A and B are shown apart, each in its own frame.
Chain A
Amino acid sequence: MSDEIKIDKEINIKGEVCPYTFVKTKLALEAMKAGQVLKVIVDHLPATENVPRTLKSEGNEILEVSRINEGDWQIITRKGNR
């Protein structure tokens, strides 16, 4: 699925834990325009649930959450209008 999505920005925040995973995701997203797509790479398992949940509650769309290798996950989100 991610092959078809145009990624506007990517951040690698491996090594970060909650809540900084979300803090950094949010900072990246705030600097983007509505409709743009952000890819976030994390290696902190709880972040794969917490980050998408909060992103969604703040009006962003979750396009994909998937494991990309042994210890890393990607979260792909489209920035909402809020």
Chain B
Amino acid sequence: MFEFSEEAIKRYSRHILLPEVGGTGQQRINEARVLLVGAGGLGAPAAYYLAAAGVGTLGVVDGDTVELSNLQRQIIHSMADLGKNKGQSARETIEGLNTDVRVVTHQERLTSKNIFPILKDYDVVMDGTDNFPTRYLVNDACVLSGKPLSTGAVFRFHGQVMTIIPGEGPCYRCLFREPPPPGMTASCEEAGVLGVLPGMIGILQATEILKIILNEGSLLKGRLLSYEALEMEFRTIKVRRDPECPVCGDHPTIKELIDYEEFCRVNF
């Protein structure tokens, strides 16, 4: 028997009505523990919708504070949050939306030292990070610990999303083996982004996370979804697991996490 309150039945009725969700699926959502790496452009909209969906525990890793230049796209923060830690700000917004959700803030940057102790309390991970060192660290840690991961990135008018199910499909390194060397990445001056773009990509990631929780539909597993906002085109590109991949390949060489050096923080 379900133990939904009258309020929960009303709040989640549009989910419960879906044959693919129902009371069973909603209960899974309410019990799920999702770790959001970053409450920035991608994490902000994802956190908002996952909280609305009733995800039981939302962990937010972010060591940054809310700045005015974030508000062009990071919709979970507002003027009153300027200067606050982003996780804290996200928690306060979510408290006003849905008190079923427990928000846990990790007000620090992920490193090879702290990532496993944080990951162990979560079932699914969303990478909404703004830098290569963290992106690779999260990918490697998820592969090594077998946690499903949604990874997303945005740049100017372009975005991409992929879902990584360790042991079942390729990882981020199968696609891009190493982080680009310094000087090959966009400089801070080139790092503009249309504000709605991370909204689109972050919500696609949140959708994948809900599908993972529900075990429904076809994931972007082995498929990279690429979105061009100017042309308004979506494309999916097949990605195979690379047998030579240093972390998920047949003879992995990465057995310990790497803290790559950071070049320029562009703060998506």
Contact = CB atoms under 8 A, between A and B. Distances in A.
B9 A19 contact: no
Q: Which 10 A-B pairs have the closest CB atoms?
A: A27-B23, A30-B23, A23-B13, A31-B1, A23-B16, A27-B2, A30-B22, A58-B19, A30-B24, A23-B9
Contacts of A22: 17
Given A20-B9, A20-B10, A24-B9, A30 B2 contact: yes
B234 interface: no
Interface of A: 19-20, 22-24, 26-27, 30-31, 58, 82
Interface in B1-29: 1-2, 4, 9-10, 13, 16-17, 19, 22-24
A61 B17 CA distance: 18
What size tier do the contact residues of chain B reach?
A: 10 to 19
Nearest to A20: B13
Contacts of B16: 23, 26-27
24 contacts: A19-B13, A19-B17, A20-B9, A20-B10, A22-B17, A23-B9, A23-B13, A23-B16, A23-B17, A26-B16, A26-B17, A26-B22, A26-B23, A27-B2, A27-B16, A27-B22, A30-B2, A30-B22, A30-B23, A30-B24, A31-B1, A31-B2, A31-B23, A82-B19
